[in-house]
Structure formats: C-alpha cells, structure tokens
Amino acid sequence: MQYQRILKAPNQSFFLFGPRGTGKSTWLRESYATDATFNLLDEKRYQSYLRDPGLFARELSVLKNGARVVVDEIQRLPNLLNEVHRFIGEKKLTFALSWSSARKLKKDGINLLAGRAVRRWMFPLVPEELGKDFEIETVLRYGSIAVIWSQEDRREALEAYVQMYLKEEIQAEALVRNLSGFARFLPIAGLCHAQTINFTNIARDAGVARTTVQGYVEILQDTLVVFLLPAYEAKIRVRERKAPKLYWIDPGLVRAVKNHSGPVAQEERGSLFEGWIASLLYAYQTYRRLFDSWSYWCPTESEQMEVDFLLEKNGQYLAIEVKSAQNVHNNHYKGLRAIRSLAELKSRILIYTGEHRQKTEDGIHVLPFKDFLTILERDELWQLDQG
C-alpha cells in the first residue's frame, strides 16, 4: 500500500536527503511530475556514465527548456552536479536530486549549485501518513521505514536492510577500512540510542580506537541513520553536560542492529519511545518548520533533572519530557519543574503512553501520545502555554 507523504516539493531545484528505503524514489515518481529520470542505482546507467562522462550532458541537452529532471542517488556520481549546475543556468532545467548519503558533500570540489537548489528531507513514515494503519507497538518493534513497512515479513526485511547497509553503503563506498570493526560497533551504537555519547566506553567495548569510533559515528550521521542532539549551553550558573545524545532515525533499525526481533522488552521500551518522539520532532521540523533549533537540558549530573527536548522558535522555548509509562508519577516532573525559571519558556509538556490528558497546578501539560500526535498534525504545539 502506498501512503500519501506530507513532504511538499518546492518550486525550484532541490536536493532530497533521506536514508535508503524511506521512499524518496517512490515519492518522486508519484508526487513529482518529471520529464526525465536518471536512476544511478541502475548499474548499467551508472557504468555508462563512468565510461563516458559526457553522456549525461548530451542526454540533458535534448530536453526542452524548463524541463523537470530527477536524478536518483546522485551521491554515487557527485561530479554530475557540474552539469546540473550548467543546465540550470543554460536551459532553465529544474532538478530533483536524491541522496542517501551526505558523506561526499564534505569533499572539496563538490558542486552544491551555489544556492540554486534548496534541501528537503524524507523520513520514515509518520502516524499522520500511516493513518488507520498506525499502531504504536508495531512501530516500536519494526519501525516505519517505508521499504520495511511494506513487507509481509518485517523482521526478515529489517535483517536484510542492515546487511544491505553494510554491503552497499559501507563496503561498496569504501567508507571504512575495517568492516569487521564497524560491524562490532553497530550493536553497541544501538545500545547508545537516546543516550549521551561516551566515545571512550564505546571504543573499549568495540575493540577499536576512540578516534575510530568518532569516525564511525560520523559515518552513521552521513548515511542519515542517526542524528545527534546537542546539550543546551546557555550561560547560566549551572554545570551542563556537553556530550550530545545519539538517536537512531527509526526504532526498528535500532532493534535490528542489536539483533532484537521479538516483542519489545520492558527494558528497551523507554529508549525506543523517546527516540521515536525525537524522530517525529525532527521530521516535523523539516516538513513544517516546527522549531528553529533544539537541544536537551541537563543542568546537573543527575539524569532525573534532565529534560529530553528543549525546542526554540523565535526566541521562545518549549520543554518536552517523554515517559513510556502508562501512569504519571510525581518524580516524572522533576526535570520540567527544574527548568521552570528558564527565560522565555512558553510551555512545559510531558508525553506519556496513558489515556488521560491533564494539567498540573503549576502548568505542566500532560499529554497522551495520541493527543500529542494530533497537536503535531494540526501544528498547534506552540499554542500550548503554561497557564
């Protein structure tokens, strides 16, 4: 079944980033009217451009002025961007350029089209897109990466996805020299989901150097399967944790790299639920400009005083705490109460898995995650206040 995605195409050339399997090609095929498509995962086409670098330009030259062109997985041949740049100027062509890895963007000499193309992102399916097919236990167990969601055997599809990632993204692109070391690192990185990064501990457990681990984390970021959330660093008189937190883009992917395939265990539920909320916030930031910047807040060494997400927009803040519990207890409010004095704090929100929407006497909104999803879909998050 195909789902209506909430991503909207811009009216100009654009890069479309997203991990493999999130549905970029499907969305471009079904939602973006095009005059020509060049798929660089087609090995015959890829090899033909390697043998004859001028072929791509000759094929573009026969298109009408103003034509719309899709180039899928252009990170495989980033030098083609020179011709993309030229034909945007000469023939007013509009390009949609999909990427599954931002690794090569860092290399000197890569043509980023000098502002002639904006950037868009594709994420795993969100509940708004899944509609009646959304079910929280299924998402926490298998995730919602489009190519996985569409398979009858999602467990097997996840295993194949991880192997494909190792083979096609890592080995084929020669991103690491020691593939076995990277393979040992992956499940450890899965255990770090929704945790602050300790490179020394990860290096010890994986049996590689600390600098190697730092490089591995960069590869996960560049291939768009994890993102890092920085610590809030305002100049206030408290000690602040400087290490970022690591989040995988999808709960199913987290479980796959850890080789967990059964029902979600209680001990992993908290990090999976928090990480899923993090991915939703990240998705809605890019789809609908939900916030300008974000961080986590932790003014002391005690994690009980932490606030999972601090969103900033136009100089105002939202503090969000996530709990996988079905009942809220007084100690769940510690971080949100500690942050109350933060300047320009608009509202404090606790998201949980229970059923009853509440509001504490000191103004904390307690939202069942289903209510939170509705608020996200209606773009009403910033309308909540402390009262």
- Condensed to tens digits (0 to 9), the pLDDT of residues 156-184 reads 999 999 888 776 777 665 566 777 888 88
- Per-residue pLDDT at 237: 46
- For the whole model, what pTM was predicted? 0.92
**Which residue did the predictor score with more confidence, 122 or 111?**
122
- Condensed to tens digits (0 to 9), the pLDDT of residues 288-324 reads 999 999 999 988 655 558 999 999 999 999 999 999 9
Domains (range + CATH), the chain: 14-121 (3.40.50.300), 127-225+244-267 (no CATH), 289-383 (no CATH)
- Per-residue pLDDT at 240: 47
**Which residue did the predictor score with more confidence, 168 or 387?**
168
Cα–Cα distances (Å) from 220 to 52, 249, 263, 317, in that order, read 32, 10, 26, 29
Most confident of 47-61, 114-128, 213-227: 47-61
Cα–Cα distances (Å) from 326 to 59, 341, 353, 363, 366, in that order, read 58, 28, 5, 20, 12
Query: Mean per-residue pLDDT for 216-236?
Result: 87
Instruction: Assign 5 a pLDDT band (cuts: 50, 70, 90).
Output: very high
Burial classification of residue 225, based on how many CB atoms lie within 10 Å of its CB (0-12 exposed, 13-18 middle, 19 or more buried): buried
- Per-residue pLDDT at 112: 63
| Closest C-alpha among 363, 326, 334 to residue 346 | 363
Query: Over 90: is that where the pLDDT of 64 sits?
Result: yes
Query: Mean per-residue pLDDT for 130-155?
Result: 96
Query: Over 70: is that where the pLDDT of 238 sits?
Result: no
Query: Over 70: is that where the pLDDT of 242 sits?
Result: yes
Helices (H) and strands (E) in the chain, counts: 15, 14
Tell me the sheet residues that pair with 109.
none
Percent of the chain with pLDDT over 70: 90
Pairing of strands 14-17, 94-99: parallel
- Per-residue pLDDT at 261: 87
What are the φ and ψ backbone dihedral angles of 203, each rounded to 5 degrees?
-60, -40
- Per-residue pLDDT at 286: 94
- Per-residue pLDDT at 172: 61
- How many C-beta neighbours within 10 Å does residue 235 have? 5
- Per-residue pLDDT at 203: 93
Tokens of 118: 């904006």
Query: Mean per-residue pLDDT for 325-341?
Result: 94
Average pLDDT of the chain?
90
- Condensed to tens digits (0 to 9), the pLDDT of residues 372-382 reads 999 999 999 99
